[in-house]
Amino acid sequence: MQKNKGHQKVLILDFGGQYNQLIARRVREQKVYCDLLPYDISFEKIKEYAPIGIIFTGGPNSVYEEGAPRVDERVFELGVPVLGICYGCQLIAHELGGKVMHADTREYGKCEIEYSKDSLLFKDVSSRNVCWMSHTDYVSEVPAGFRITATTKTCPAAAFENSDKKIYGVQFHTEVHHTAEGEKILHNFLFDVCKADGDWTMSNFVAQQVENLREKLEGKKVLCALSGGVDSAVAAALIHRAAGDNLTCVFVDHGLLRKGEAEEVVSVFGEKLKMNLIKIDAKERFLSRLAGVSEPEKKRKIIGEEFIKVFEVEAKKIGAVDFLVQGTIYPDVIESGKGVSAVIKSHHNVGGLPSVVDFKEIIEPLRDLFKDEVRKVGTELGLPDTVVRRQPFPGPGLAIRIMGEVTEQKLKTLRDADFILREEIAKAGLDKEIWQYFAVITSTSTVGVMGDSRTYEPVIALRAVTSVDAMTADWAKIPYEVLEKISSRIINEVDHANRIVYDITSKPPATIEWE
Ligand code: XMP
């Protein structure tokens, strides 16, 4: 874990609930730093962490099951405020002598709730309101010294507290938007109970990181692979601020990026930020390895391997370095399980780099940040919106958006069509609400007529999806007029385009990318 010396920190103990990352994000949104750590970290670690408050998350277990996750009771004696959410609240009741019961039916969804006006937790919250519930067990008796501060029709102790000991339990999910004023409740816990300062801002983060890194990187050689993606771009910009010319960035242009992207990397990082940037033009090399290859997995494999080979040659020229920069971000760390060990992103384009670079240590300046925070840091460091707001883009690039063999001509057609799609989506103001939007060249050719002549060209498909995490996605309901404009512009302005279709499948069953 990166040290955030000087910052107040909230410790979130993870009991395995589905909204746990969301709790951490909600705390960070209130400008309070927090970490999500496994519930079974030792009591010594908890003390050493020195939190200003502790949150227990929800989780799938029942407190009375054998082997159910528990917490060291001494946590309640630290004098540090505790907020238990859902399972976390049942755990408080269970550990401190209250009673938890199993209901016959699960309470799930929006639910009317009544709060006590005299609880600090519900300060300025309307006394009758709506909250989001998702539980079967419930607290039927609160521990001695506690009082009930909220009730619903089915839940006699929807919230309870011992304000002297600063221990609070809520059965509902404050972190979910369906809980009206959930943010305010969390705010009250953080600012009124934990006495947070709210000084976790991205400009403070940048200033502090740069100060820490300057010392660490002084006189050292640092190497970073730029992919054009948000994470590596922001990581490089941050390291650059601290290490200046000691940082060398290598950008391999595999010729499979979208229109204008390779040029943008050079213009932003080389010209504007004046970084030590080595651009390797490996277009020919990738295209010749891809010639005649149609099978998607084979294409992916070739590109991954080739990338490592190209990088290896450059790394040999650069020689030994002290640090290799990785754009790992917080969700990668949390998903790796324990939040303690470094993960190398599975993104195959950079995943293999450590094996070909002669380095002493990996440095991951963004490993404490969520994606939205990474974007803010990028803006803080002067990166343009086109870089920090960039859509997710697969490592193998346009090669997996061209069905079948990748050729120069298809690449050009795809780039031009994709550019028009992006331009029109932005003009229509839809770029913020659509998760990803791109064009695809299919492997089916159809007949068209242009002027007086017959044409026979591959169908171009447009794909646009809304999503929160790319695990599931819905096809975007782009207005017909916008689709019409995109279609007619592509047909009129792009060579080898004679038919456009729109993909109306969700994920699942389809994936976002076509290959
Ligand atoms: P699918 O197509 O599986 O994509 O629904 C989910 C998300 O992952 C992106 N994607 C990739 N990203 N390397 C990456 O870094 C890849 O090989 C790759 N393949 C798919 C895709 O764009 C979507 O956001």
493 is catalytic: no
pLDDT value of residue 434: 97
**Ligand 1 atom nearest to 347, measured from its CA:** 15
Query: Is residue 351 very low, low, confident or very high in pLDDT (cuts 50, 70, 90)?
Result: low
- How far is ligand 1, taken at its centre, from the CA of residue 388, in Å? 18
Q: Is the pLDDT of residue 244 over 80?
A: yes
Q: Is the pLDDT of residue 465 over 60?
A: yes
- Please tell me the residue having the least CA distance from ligand 1 atom 10: 394
pLDDT value of residue 300: 94
- Please tell me the residue having the least CA distance from ligand 1 atom 19: 394
pLDDT value of residue 404: 97
pLDDT value of residue 484: 98
Total residues found in the chain within this entry: 515
Token pair 């746990």: residue: 20
- Please tell me the residue having the least CA distance from ligand 1 atom 4: 512
d(CA 291, CA 174): 54
Percent of the chain with pLDDT over 70: 96
pLDDT digits (tens, 9 = 90+) for 311-344: 999 999 999 999 999 999 998 887 655 433 333 3
Q: Please name the residues in contact with 77: beta carbons below 8 A apart, sequence gap of 6 or more.
A: none
d(CA 361, CA 221): 11
224 is catalytic: no
Q: Check: CB of residue 69 under 8 Å from CB of residue 100.
A: no
Give the count of beta carbons closer than 10 Å to the beta carbon of residue 140: 15
Q: Is the pLDDT of residue 132 over 80?
A: yes
d(CA 213, CA 194): 30
Q: Please name the residues in contact with 402: beta carbons below 8 A apart, sequence gap of 6 or more.
A: 410, 411, 414, 440, 441
pLDDT digits (tens, 9 = 90+) for 192-227: 999 999 999 999 999 999 999 999 999 999 999 998
Task: Tell me if the pTM is above 0.75.
Answer: yes
User: Catalytic: which of 86, 111, 131, 249?
Assistant: 86
Q: Is the pLDDT of residue 149 over 50?
A: yes
Q: Which residues line ligand 1 (CB under 6 A)?
A: 347-348, 392, 394-396, 436, 470, 507, 511-513
Query: Is residue 471 very low, low, confident or very high in pLDDT (cuts 50, 70, 90)?
Result: confident
Q: Is the pLDDT of residue 288 over 80?
A: yes
What is the pLDDT of the chain when averaged over all its residues? 93
- How far is ligand 1, taken at its centre, from the CA of residue 513, in Å? 7
- How far is ligand 1, taken at its centre, from the CA of residue 397, in Å? 10
- How far is ligand 1, taken at its centre, from the CA of residue 87, in Å? 34
pLDDT digits (tens, 9 = 90+) for 57-109: 999 999 999 999 999 999 999 999 999 999 999 999 999 999 999 998 888 99
**Ligand 1 atom nearest to 300, measured from its CA:** 17
pLDDT value of residue 468: 83
86 is catalytic: yes
Q: Is the pLDDT of residue 292 over 90?
A: yes
